[in-house]
Structure 1
């Protein structure tokens, strides 16, 4: 018996010590230094809650549970004669109120089951037609969640009001305002059912799904790509250790867990690099799959004699003591990135572009055979890629700018001081073209309609190009389109038609004045017909 008590006390002591150590480590990890970018973390949490299928319906149920006792309490203190003067208010007895509330509760619960069945049927169809990764767009559709939430919220409200109807309660009677509100909600639910059916009809259309994916991609592009060049940032790149940090002592950074890299908290990472006096270079990009053995980057430690390692004088906030990464460094680094076990929606541009690519690839499969949908995806991808080409790409270099010393009289005359902190990987436009339009090309090798749409896409992107490198990328992709058709199209006439269009597109792209000209492809047969018509008219 004593041995059992000793074992229990030992187990309890170990549990208390483990809890204390866990709280201590949690306090260190979630300190103000680590959580420099709390708004980004809270925004990601909010997007995760909004994106879940249960959050909005649960909120509606809670609203119904809260409204029921509130309205019943108001009924207890409300003048009955005033209620009877309202033409739309319920003024029946307790039996009528109980019958109405029972009917409303049963009806909205049945309709909620119907809407859920329709949603499951739409998800099944969307999974087979658009791909399983597109299911998130349907599950996170706010109108669908709100309609389901309105139904079950009305059901919860009706049950609670029904419980408050007492037959022999002479002092209070029937909660007339609460019953009136339930009737209004039942009418609203009937209208929402009509809206739900109309909304689902539009939601399952391919054009609607493609447009939503395109809007997500454009939103992500505007988040990362700016409309103008940051001159101050360019000066920071020229004046800092961009070219020298590769020669510093480096430590390999491994992924803390397996999964998909979904978020990089730059502010927390910059704070971490300043505490340890170095530069973190990340080679993994958003959306990349990593394992716990993957090398995702390096930590470059500044030399001890580096001029940025200032002594602790009046500018103590600039003092940096380079340190080799230790256990706390790796724990804090794990909080600076977010790795998920599955691909989730984030500000990753490639994720949204990949959705449209997946729709196009599935549309080109023999089971669906819908090249028109693939052409629509090519056109939407062209729109997104043209925006990327026109805007200023994000810089891979991120700097630490120390706060201004207000109590220093000479600070106003000093130059702006920055320190290189983080170097990230920035995808190029050629990468986006290869993983989107290039992927469609590899599946559309025997479809002339899609190949010609890809050729036209290169012409349309040429209007947005701003440098020679982008021009060479378009010409390379155009060459691959012509090669794909030449090796896979069935008839020589189709091959000649595609080669002629690619040749005209190439000449147009190489034209220095192409931005001010209109491109239209004229095939050999069409040119022959036009010539014959002109001869007859003359």
Structure 2
């Protein structure tokens, strides 16, 4: 009895308003997880077929049959013809569904070996593929239920003519979907198409995390004294509730938790990192009793912060404020999205595949994503609790500047880390390929167009130095080394010279030929 009561209390806590502060985001993540599963859309199509069958049969029973016979496209045969048609449709669509499933498995096997296992999710979550399979098995379910409603001796009302007509129409649609499915799979297995989908996925996460403009009010909040002083407060380590990959951080829930316990939660782990149950994910800094926030109650009660030591309820609420998975799955993690393109490039550079063109395509797509990240406002690691506005306050207090209390501090990767984990990873595998190394040099100059500060330029120059060193130590011919070093020198001059507007590498041999062509012959 005690155990049941404890479990019930835990369930009530999970469903409480404090835990579900990020309810819209949690629902969005659940919906994306359902859409991303391979069974959801086909199951929904089966349910639609199961619901349509009795509805159309019921309409048939109350519909004027003479009117149906006047329709040129409607089925007007007897029960034997209707049963034969429905049996043929059910058997045909089920066989085609098996064929499409076999084709999908073959494509997944090829994609796993050529593009990497992390790209399998892109094929499994492809909505057109799921809808085609769902249309086949949904039509099969619908045909079985309509076949069940066809009676032998009651010809007048035993043949659901509209239902059979709709089944014929769905059979034609399924035939067209089969042609579309084959055409779609042919395009889906092309490397350029896979890279484009991965790039689109990364850009979606970048636009979600990075903002177009800077939040001026947030920059003012960052000047709060807690940002500088909270590291000196009494700290309690926060351990991971279980082992796994950090897939989601519900910031609003953590802000509410930190506010209720009167402190600051600092997370050292970022989305996508692996933790064990002994990992210190962060620290909870308890606000000291002498802090001035304790004395704000004399002015207004809704700004008062009363600190307390973390207890069992604190750890339960923290466990529901993050989402851990046993395996890395798709989320809003930008590293995961960029890593898909990096994995394609690394596999393309392997001796078994040896496709540098695909690797260059990945480099160009990664450059496009990183360029947008460099121009946009990165997410701030500081998250504040903003007390609600109280209309009952005196006018003097109501006109005071907004009070923001630091509650959560997260660990956000810098642009240099993204460059190293994407383009830098490709560089480490392309040390003996001049074509890819030159594409990486070109990427540094392309990213220079998006630089907004000197720190970003220093990152590009550092990566350019590593590219030159990789080619110098691993290229097989001295002529190739000279070519790469010449391009690196021109790229470095372009990055250092902020007045240059355009970069175009011209090799020494090409420059010599160009001058020779311009020299008039004697």
User: Which of the five TM-score ranges fits, normalised by the shorter chain?
Assistant: over 0.9
Q: Within 5 Å, which residues of 2 pair with 1:110-509?
A: 110-170=95-155, 172-310=157-295, 315-410=300-395, 411-509=397-495
Distance 2:341 2:278 in 1: 32
**How far has the Cα of 1:240 moved from its partner?**
3.6
- Give SS of 2:20's match: coil
d(CA) in 1 for partners of 2:380 and 2:71? 65
Asked if the contact 2:487–2:505 (Cα under 8 Å) also holds between the matched residues in 1, the reply is yes
Partner of 2:227: helix, strand, or coil?
coil
Q: Secondary structure at the match of 1:436?
A: helix
- Aligned mates of 1:424, 1:64 — CA distance in 2: 47
Contact 1:310–1:318 (8 Å) recurs in 2: no
CA RMSD of aligned residues (A): 1.2
Question: Which of residues 55, 59, 70 in structure 1 aligns to 2:44?
Answer: 59
| Partner SS, residue 21 of structure 2 | coil
* CA contact 2:374–2:415 (8 Å) conserved in 1: yes
The one of 504, 515, 519 aligned to 2:503: 519
Q: Deviations over 1:375-398 (max 9, x none)?
A: 000000000000000001111000
Are the counterparts in 1 of residues 243 and 324 from structure 2 also a CA contact under 8 Å? yes
Q: Does residue 40 of the first structure (1) align with residue 25 of the second (2)?
A: yes
Query: 8 Å contact 1:240–1:419 — kept in the other structure?
Result: no
Following superposition, the deviation at residue 30 of structure 1 comes to 2.7
Residues 313-360 of structure 1: per-residue CA shift (max 9 Å, x gap): 673333322111111100100000000011111111100000000000
Question: TM-score, normalised to structure 1's length?
Answer: 0.95
Deviations 1:405-454 (A, max 9, x none): 12334253222111000000111110000000000000000000000000
Alignment: residue pair count: 521
Choose 404-413 or 241-250, whichever is displaced more: 404-413
| Aligned twin of 1:9 | none
TM-score, with structure 2 as normaliser: 0.98
Structure-2 separation of matches of 1:295 and 1:311? 33
Q: Return 223-232 or 156-165, whichever deviates more.
A: 223-232
1:35-84 Cα shifts (integer Å, max 9, x gaps): 11100111110000000000000000000000000000000000000101
Of 94, 98, 113, the residue aligned with 1:109 is: 94
Which secondary structure does the structure 2 equivalent of 1:35 belong to?
helix
SS at match of 1:195: helix
> Which residue does 1:529 correspond to in 2?
513
Q: Identify unmatched segments of 5+ residues in structure 2.
A: none
1: CA distance, partners of 2:53 / 2:376:
53
Residues 269 and 282, structure 2, Cα contact 8 Å, conserved in 1 = yes
Distance 1:86 1:409, change over 3 A: farther
Q: CA deviation at 1:170?
A: 4.8
Offset at residue 258 of structure 1 (A): 0.4
